[in-house]
Each structure stands twice: as C-alpha cells, then as structure tokens.
C-alpha cells in the first residue's frame, strides 16, 4: 500500500516513513509548504488545510499538524507552535519557563487523511516536561526542550519514534487503513 504525505518538514517525513514500514505502507513524500490557517485548535487547522489541499491535489493524501502544549502556560504555544518556534524558538521557551516549577507539557499530532472524497482525523498525544536547558542535537523543532523521562526527544534519536505523538497518531491511521481493504 502507498500513501502520499504532504509536508515541507523532512524530519516529519523521515519519522512517518519509518512508522509506515512497520505497517507495510510505503509513505511517499510530496514536498510542499501549504497554507495553514490560524485557528484555536489543531483539529481545525488540520481539517481546513486538508480541505483546501484536497481541491488542488484531487487524489488521496495525508497531512499532519502538531503542537507543543505547556501546562503552566495554559497550553501555549499549542496551535501557535509553528509561529512561536520561528520567532522566539527553543531559547525563548526556556526563558518563558524560567523559575516555573510545573514543567509538564505534551505534544499533540493530528493526522488528516483525504480519501478522495472524505476527510478522516487521527490523534496522538505524548506527555513529558520542558527541560531546564536545550539538550541534544537529533530530531527537529522543540525536540531539544521536550523531556520524555530523563532524555529530551533530541537526545533520543530513533527511540523518539517508539513513543512520540506522531507515532501514536500514525499508528491509528495505518491500522485503520489496513482494515479498509
Ligand atoms: P507543524 O505541525 O509543522 O505546524 O509544527 C508546528 C511546530 O511544532 C513546528 O515549529 C515544528 O517544528 C514543531 N514540531 C512539530 N512536531 C514536532 C516534534 O515531533 N518535535 C518537536 N517539534 C515539533
């Protein structure tokens, strides 16, 4: 089986490609930076982006939208994760969290699949903490500030792919896909 994954993020594609192999799905990369509307939930962003893209692509594909939600910041940056990363980055996150004891955070991934007619949504969530400092050089985005156990995602490398939000969301999608026949 083959699915087309639309993303401009190589890190994401590489992770999903590996997850797909476990389910005998070949994930093909359609490298494109598409318009992402700003909305207050990742579900909404993923669904609207998928609807817009479906009119242009016209055949089945998947997209994925993720975000980092920090408990003591009321879920910030959440749906604004992309903008916040581009502006204040990981240094900014560490600064915002300076002196804050509750460092709980989670990553959420929303996969939206367009089957040629309808859109199907799958979700994955992984809980962790914000580290005290930037650590590790693997992965991408907020990986160096997201602690899963004692290591940051950026220190984990391939181990991240066993436990990540992306892994959970895509696992649900690939299992569902396998049942569609
Ligand atoms: P988007 O899903 O590409 O819109 O991602 C939103 C922001 O979250 C971007 O700045 C990504 O780099 C970051 N991000 C998404 N997934 C991950 C991840 O697995 N680890 C670290 N950062 C991520």
Give the count of alpha carbons within 13 A of 19, CB side only. Answer: 25
Fold of 2-180: Maf protein (3.90.950)
- Residue 170: pLDDT band (50, 70, 90) is very high
Mean pLDDT computed over 146-154: 98
Report whether residue 54 contacts ligand 1, using a CB cutoff of 6 Å.
no
* pLDDT tens figures, 111-140: 999 999 999 999 999 999 999 999 999 999
Residue 60 and residue 101: Cα distance in Å, rounded?
Answer: 45
End-to-end CA distance of the chain: 10
Give 84-119 pLDDT, tens digit per residue.
999 999 999 999 999 999 999 999 999 999 999 999
Catalytic residue among 65, 115, 143, 158: 65
Length of the chain: 181
105 close to 129: Cβ distance less than 8 angstroms: yes
Q: Could you give the angle at which helices 165-180 and 10-22 cross, rounded to 10 degrees? A: 50
Mind listing the pLDDT tens digit for each residue in 6-20? 999 999 999 999 999
Cα separation, 145 vs 134, whole angstroms: 5
For residues 167 and 68, what is the distance between their CA atoms, to the nearest angstrom?
15
| pLDDT digit string, tens, across residues 151-161 | 999 999 999 99
C-alpha 165 – ligand 1 centre gap (Å): 11
Q: Buried b vs exposed e over 76-104: b needs ≥16 C-beta within 10 Å?
A: bbbbebbebbeeebbeebbebbeeeeebe
Query: 150: pLDDT confidence band, cut at 50, 70 and 90?
Result: very high
Closest atom of ligand 1 relative to the 36 alpha carbon:
4
Is 65 among the residues known to form the active site? yes
- How many Å lie between the centroid of ligand 1 and the Cα of residue 67? 6
User: Which residue, by CA, sits nearest to atom 6 of ligand 1?
Assistant: 82
Q: Which atom of ligand 1 is nearest to the CA of 64?
A: 2
pLDDT of residue 36: 87
What does the pLDDT look like over 18-75, one tens digit per residue? 999 999 999 999 999 998 888 999 999 999 999 999 999 989 999 999 999 999 999 9
Pairing of strands 2-7, 26-31: parallel
- Residue 181 pLDDT greater than 90, yes or no: no
């Amino acid at each position: 089986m083959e699915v087309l994954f639309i993303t401009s993020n190589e890190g994401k594609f590489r992770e999903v490609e590996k997850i797909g192999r476990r389910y005998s799905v070949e994930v093909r990369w359609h490298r494109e930076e598409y318009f992402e509307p700003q909305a207050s939930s990742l579900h909404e962003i993923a669904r609207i982006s998928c609807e817009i893209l479906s009119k242009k692509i016209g055949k089945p594909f998947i997209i994925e939208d993720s975000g980092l939600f920090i408990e003591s910041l009321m879920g910030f940056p959440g749906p604004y994760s992309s903008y916040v990363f581009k502006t204040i980055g990981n240094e900014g996150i560490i600064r915002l969290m300076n002196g804050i004891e509750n460092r709980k955070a989670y990553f959420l991934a929303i996969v939206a699949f367009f089957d040629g007619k309808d859109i199907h949504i799958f979700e994955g969530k992984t809980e962790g903490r914000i580290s005290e400092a930037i650590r590790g050089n693997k992965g991408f985005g907020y990986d160096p500030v997201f602690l899963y156990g004692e290591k940051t995602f950026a220190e984990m490398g391939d181990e991240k792919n066993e436990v990540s939000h992306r892994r959970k969301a895509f696992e649900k999608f690939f299992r569902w896909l396998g049942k569609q026949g």
